[in-house]
Amino acid sequence: MQIITKKQELQQVVEACKKNHQTIGFVPTMGALHEGHASLVRRAVQENDVCFVSVFVNPTQFNNKEDLAKYPRNIERDAALLSSIGANYVFAPTPEEMYSAEEMNNTFSFDFAGLDQVMEGKMRPGHFNGVVQVVSRLFYLVQPDRAYFGEKDFQQLAIIHHMVERSELAGTFGNLQIIGCPIVREASGLALSSRNERLSETEKQTALGISKTLFASSKWAKEAGATVAEVQQRVIDAINAIDGLEMEYYEIVDQTTLLPTTTFNHAIGCVTVYCGPVRLIDNIKYE
């Protein structure tokens, strides 16, 4: 496995792959890799001739400087994991290699067709501008045939789909296929996240209340006459009743438009909860 830190070197390697007619699978990450990322990389390795992974903590998608500073970083451990599961190239640039000073300081503008006005987008203004900025740049550089994203960040996945299929950037990435992959959970149910590293053992136990409530809500949704509004409120009340958890939002929305829905058909419930100082997200599909 080769670690690349410069864009120019990356482009040379990509060109060589294209010349050899090799298909490219790509997994963009911010490092602090766990089994969730590993499942994406394994799939990329299996379905393509070559697998590229980027490890870049993208400063432009953090609207909270403290969150950026505290984001866990461990490139040696990440590289060892990636090499053991068959990734071929890791792109790990510095922020200066990725962005000019102007790009770093100005908001990247993009037509989200409203997908950024709800949930994470509403709570973290500018977050998805940074995500689209970095992901579009990475796609230009890596020119993947398939790119893999986890469904835990469901709104991010919907926005990337929009970016590739329906936005002003549509058509610029060739026949790129965006592949959403299921959430990977601990046996306890806790959704894997790089942020879990910041939870104490007690907080981890407390955080289990999130997935437990979401799983229970799947049953509540099947109760005769249950409405979306009732299930939504029941989840909010159940999570807020747990000591140590503080709900930021819970919304049941349509899986494509991300707009509030009144039917469980094609619906997903998305939650963001603070467990102590750590902001955790999770979701459940109701179809």
* Four-point Cα dihedral 130, 41, 43, 58, nearest 10: 0
In the complex, the smallest distance separating the C-beta of residue 221 from ligand PAF, rounded to whole angstroms, is: 27
- For ligand PAF, the binding residues (CB under 6 A) are 28-30, 58, 61, 131, 134-135, 153, 156
Dihedral sign for Cα atoms in the order 151, 122, 56, 280: negative
Catalytic residue, from 37, 127, 161, 162: name it: 37
Dihedral sign for Cα atoms in the order 43, 46, 48, 53: positive
In the complex, the smallest distance separating the C-beta of residue 57 from ligand PAF, rounded to whole angstroms, is: 8
CA 99 vs. chain centroid, Å, equals: 21
In the complex, the smallest distance separating the C-beta of residue 275 from ligand PAF, rounded to whole angstroms, is: 19
Strands (E) across 129-258 are located at 146-150, 177-181, 245-254
CB 245 within 8 A of CB 275: yes
**CB-wise, 69 or 187, nearer to ligand PAF?**
69
**CB-wise, 39 or 61, nearer to ligand PAF?**
61
H helices of 58-171, in order, are: 65-70, 75-84, 95-98, 101-105, 119-123, 127-142, 154-165
In the complex, the smallest distance separating the C-beta of residue 227 from ligand PAF, rounded to whole angstroms, is: 33
State the Cα–Cα distance between residues 287 and 272, nearest whole angstrom.
21
**CB-wise, 92 or 134, nearer to ligand PAF?**
134
In the complex, the smallest distance separating the C-beta of residue 138 from ligand PAF, rounded to whole angstroms, is: 8
Dihedral sign for Cα atoms in the order 92, 94, 100, 104: positive
**CB-wise, 139 or 264, nearer to ligand PAF?**
139
Asked if 37 is an active-site residue, the reply is yes
**CB-wise, 137 or 253, nearer to ligand PAF?**
137
CB 6 within 8 A of CB 93: yes
Catalytic residue list: 37
